[in-house]
């Protein structure tokens, strides 16, 4: 999504504070990158190449999320294609992109529903907590009223009284996802053991809205399993490989 030339031609600094807020809301609703770079804050840890440093003990800092290279490619692919598979790596930060995109969807999509799914309950709740943290760090004019928050859900109220829901799900035998999602983030998908992973995907796929967004990120676990099958299917549909090469 691109901000129109008319909006870009406006001198933001010449606007009043109220006008700047309207301008920022308009630009953010059009362009998730504008929204993330200017308003989405994350906790991050300084990168270090010193193997003697325990990174878990390095204090985190709060800073604006500034997507770079591969992260921008993920956002562009989500907007263009809606379904994206990406490699899991802390250094790449695709999970951070996935959560930032979720904050954008909740803020700007009326009656939206977002699903965060990971291999364990604590991992899915961590995704939700990262989402809530970034949402609460938004400036007051950008936030919508919070109407519910618990360990597995976060709901805000839109200007027309619509509820915008984020729900966290663990990948377990008991997980039942029945609601349609406008955005689904599947984290560490290949780490879910078969046949549970296959059954889980069979339950998730029908819940994805016709124009919904899906981001599946995972470390590879070899040529077998549901994630590997999805990667091969995506590569075939994108023309990266031929069927006889699979």
Q: E strands, 98-207, where?
A: 113-118, 146-149, 153-157, 163-170, 181-187
> Is the pLDDT score of 55 beyond 70?
no
Question: With bands split at pLDDT 50, 70 and 90, how would you rate the model's confidence at 227?
Answer: confident
Q: Are 186 and 214 in contact (CB under 8 A)?
A: yes
Structure tokens at 137: 């760090």
Question: With bands split at pLDDT 50, 70 and 90, how would you rate the model's confidence at 189?
Answer: confident
Residue 80 confidence (pLDDT): 94
Mean of the per-residue pLDDT values for the chain? Answer: 87
Task: Give dist(CA 43, CA 32) in Å, integer.
Answer: 19
> Is the pLDDT score of 96 beyond 90?
yes
Question: With bands split at pLDDT 50, 70 and 90, how would you rate the model's confidence at 86?
Answer: confident
Query: Cα 16–17–22 angle (5° rounding)?
Result: 95
| Stretch 182-195: mean pLDDT | 90
Question: With bands split at pLDDT 50, 70 and 90, how would you rate the model's confidence at 244?
Answer: low
């Amino acid at each position: 999504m691109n901000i129109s030339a008319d909006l870009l031609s406006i001198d933001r600094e010449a606007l009043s504070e109220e006008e700047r807020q309207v301008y920022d809301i308009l630009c953010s609703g059009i362009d998730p990158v504008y929204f993330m770079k200017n308003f989405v804050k994350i906790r991050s840890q300084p990168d270090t190449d010193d193997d003697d440093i325990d990174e878990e003990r390095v204090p985190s800092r709060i800073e604006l999320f500034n997507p770079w290279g591969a992260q921008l490619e993920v956002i562009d692919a989500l907007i263009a294609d809606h379904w994206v598979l990406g490699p899991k790596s802390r250094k790449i930060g695709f999970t951070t992109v996935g959560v930032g995109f979720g904050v954008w969807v909740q803020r700007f999509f009326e009656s939206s529903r977002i699903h965060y799914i990971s291999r364990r309950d604590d991992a899915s709740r961590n995704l939700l907590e990262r989402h809530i943290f970034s949402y609460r760090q938004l400036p007051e004019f950008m936030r919508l009223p919070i109407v519910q928050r618990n360990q597995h859900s976060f709901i805000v109220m839109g200007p027309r009284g619509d509820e915008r829901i984020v729900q966290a799900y663990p990948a377990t035998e008991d997980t039942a996802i029945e609601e349609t999602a406008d955005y689904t983030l599947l984290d560490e998908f290949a780490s879910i053991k078969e046949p549970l992973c296959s059954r889980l995907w069979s339950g998730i796929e029908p819940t994805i809205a016709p124009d919904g967004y899906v981001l599946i990120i995972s470390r590879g676990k070899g040529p077998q399993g549901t994630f590997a099958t999805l990667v091969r299917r995506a590569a075939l549909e994108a023309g990266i490989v031929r069927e006889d090469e699979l």
